[in-house]
């Protein structure tokens, strides 16, 4: 099981500074793409379109990340980690500015461009943390870093709507740009914290611009492929719990905006605690794959529990389901990246993180049209949520089978 040779044996001040830097800059980048969703009401008023039309920005963002994230390793090798992350943040800010055109097509293009720059940035940020964290603490530190996304969601939820109501939806765009610009400036000012030794092994071989080389950028080695495919199912589940469950409570259950909003807030708040708990548990049992399988079962139970809700359901049951959703639904991502970082071939950690993130992005990208399509075909939420539950359980069972096989035949696991 290969890890970068610069990983320290114990937590040092450099580890803590890297974690803080990754947490804050990842929060800034996430603030930007969350902002696209919160702009929907203002843009709907501006254009006369439905808010749901602008909700498709989420899919366009992750279309961009799925295309661009496999190039993370190449960027870090050629530009260095500091320059690569700084340029990505600048690109995110410039992309958000396109939204000021105020049309549906401009917003979707801005979302796609934002995703193109966010794609390499996320894996580079992950690689920085894994490169400076002791192996026995990688899961915990990855999860703490990822909790910055939930923090960004809470901050954006409080800040952007108020700013847009007071000044206009354009204020939301400028806020997004300022936040990522500050993160880019911080990356330059504190460059030593963000600097890591790049991967020493170039990834794809063959013709510089051949189709085979391009295809290889999106391929994972055999021992990581199952992780990649299951990440698609987990990302769809994540989107279900953090977006469509809220809408289901309004449309399917008949709850009011206040009750549904409280449910959503509990999910978000619990996720902040659930992330480090999942990371700590993964480190304790030394098996991120087993942790992913457990989280998949928890997310499935939360989605199944949501399907049983009615307006007469006791509040404590509703809150218990929200807590389970928060603990399981969002915690899988850092555990997944932990598994990839620890299982990646020596010298290719950044490369594999980028490729793996592309698989997760496919799930985030396809979830909205997939779930909405199934709702339209079936007429309710039972079928789409059932598909999500099945994907979780199948992915989790395959991961457990792989863990058992690896324990019986350790030589099969790449080192």
Q: What is the pLDDT of residues 229-239, one digit of tens each?
A: 998 899 888 88
**How many of the other CB atoms lie within 10 Å of CB of 337?**
31
Q: List, for residues 130-171, the tens digit of each pLDDT value.
A: 888 887 888 888 888 888 887 787 777 777 777 777 888 888
Share of the chain above pLDDT 70, in %: 90
| pLDDT over 50 (residue 2) | no
pLDDT of residue 263: 82
Residues 6 or more apart whose Cβ sits within 8 Å of residue 35: 96, 156, 160, 172, 173, 175, 176
Under 8 Å between Cβ of 25 and 85: yes
Task: State whether residue 242 is helix, strand or coil.
Answer: helix
| pLDDT over 80 (residue 176) | yes
Residues 303-306: contacts with CB within 8 Å, 24+ apart?
303/237, 303/240, 303/241, 303/245, 303/385, 303/388, 303/389, 303/392, 304/385, 304/389, 306/245, 306/248, 306/249, 306/385
pLDDT of residue 199: 57
Q: Dihedral of the CA atoms 279, 340, 196, 203 (nearest 10)? A: -170
Which DSSP string corresponds to 152-195? HHHHHHHHHHHHHHHT-HHHHHHHHHHHHHHHHHHHHHTHHHH-
Structure tokens at 303: 């989605």
Q: List, for residues 321-345, the tens digit of each pLDDT value.
A: 989 988 888 788 889 888 888 888 7
pLDDT of residue 414: 44
Query: Which CATH number is correct for 13-200+212-412, 3.40.1160.10, 3.10.20.30, 3.90.480.20, 1.20.1250.20?
Result: 1.20.1250.20
| pLDDT over 50 (residue 275) | yes
Which DSSP string corresponds to 296-365? HHHHHHHHHHHHT--TTS-HHHHHHHHHHHHHHHTTHHHHHHHHHHHHSPTT-HHHHHHHHHHHHHHHHH
pLDDT-derived band at 3, boundaries 50, 70, 90:
very low
State the chain's mean pLDDT as an integer: 83
pLDDT of residue 182: 94
pLDDT of residue 212: 59
pLDDT of residue 5: 41
Structure tokens at 408: 């019986």
pLDDT of residue 253: 82
Structure tokens at 114: 């934002």
Task: State whether residue 210 is helix, strand or coil.
Answer: coil
Q: List, for residues 23-42, the tens digit of each pLDDT value.
A: 899 889 988 888 887 787 78
* Spatial distance between the Cα atoms of 130 and 23, rounded to a whole number of angstroms: 13
Q: Maximum distance among all alpha carbons in the chain? A: 64
Q: List, for residues 376-401, the tens digit of each pLDDT value.
A: 898 888 999 999 999 999 999 999 99
| pLDDT over 90 (residue 352) | no
Buried b / exposed e along 27-38 (16+ C-beta atoms within 10 A): bbbbbbbbbbbb
pLDDT of residue 40: 77
* Spatial distance between the Cα atoms of 363 and 382, rounded to a whole number of angstroms: 20
Q: What is the average per-residue pLDDT within 119-128?
A: 88
**How many of the other CB atoms lie within 10 Å of CB of 209?**
7
Buried b / exposed e along 287-296 (16+ C-beta atoms within 10 A): bbbbbbbbbb
């Amino acid at each position: 099981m290969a890890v970068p040779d610069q990983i320290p044996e114990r937590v040092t001040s450099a580890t803590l500074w890297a974690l803080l830097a990754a947490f804050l800059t990842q929060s800034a980048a996430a603030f930007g793409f969350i902002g696209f969703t919160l702009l929907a009401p203002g843009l709907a008023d501006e254009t006369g379109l439905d808010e749901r039309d602008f909700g498709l920005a989420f899919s366009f963002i992750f279309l961009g990340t799925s295309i661009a994230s496999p190039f993370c390793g190449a960027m870090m090798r050629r530009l260095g980690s500091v320059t690569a992350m700084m340029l990505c943040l600048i690109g995110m800010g410039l992309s958000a500015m396109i939204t000021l055109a105020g049309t549906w097509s401009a917003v979707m293009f801005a979302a796609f461009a934002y995703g193109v720059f966010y794609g390499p940035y996320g894996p580079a940020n992950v690689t920085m943390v894994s490169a400076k964290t002791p192996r026995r603490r990688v899961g915990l530190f990855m999860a703490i870093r990822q909790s910055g996304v939930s923090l960004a969601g809470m901050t954006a939820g409080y800040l952007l709507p108020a700013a847009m109501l007071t000044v206009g939806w354009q204020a939301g765009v400028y806020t997004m740009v300022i936040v990522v610009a500050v993160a880019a400036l911080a990356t330059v000012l504190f460059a030593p914290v963000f600097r890591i030794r790049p991967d020493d092994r170039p990834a794809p071989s063959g013709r510089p611009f051949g189709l085979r080389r391009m295809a290889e950028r999106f391929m994972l080695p055999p021992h990581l492929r199952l992780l990649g495919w299951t990440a698609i199912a987990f990302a769809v589940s994540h989107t279900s719990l953090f977006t469509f469950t809220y809408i289901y409570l309004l449309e399917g259950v008949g709850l009011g905006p206040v009750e549904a909003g409280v449910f959503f807030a509990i999910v978000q708040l619990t996720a902040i605690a659930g992330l480090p708990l999942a990371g700590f548990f993964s480190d304790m049992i030394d098996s991120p794959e087993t942790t992913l399988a457990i989280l998949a079962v928890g997310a499935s139970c939360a989605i199944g529990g949501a399907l049983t809700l009615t307006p007469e359901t006791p509040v404590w049951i509703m809150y218990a389901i929200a807590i389970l959703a928060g603990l399981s639904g969002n915690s899988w991502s850092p555990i997944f990246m932990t598994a990839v970082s620890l299982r990646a071939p020596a010298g290719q950690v950044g490369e594999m993180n980028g490729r793996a993130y592309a698989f997760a992005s496919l799930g985030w990208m396809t979830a909205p049209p997939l779930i909405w399509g199934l709702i339209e075909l079936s007429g309710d939420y039972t079928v789409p949520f059932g598909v999500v539950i099945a994907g979780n359980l199948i992915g989790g069972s395959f991961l457990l089978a792989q863990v058992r096989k690896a324990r019986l035949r350790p030589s099969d696991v790449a080192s």
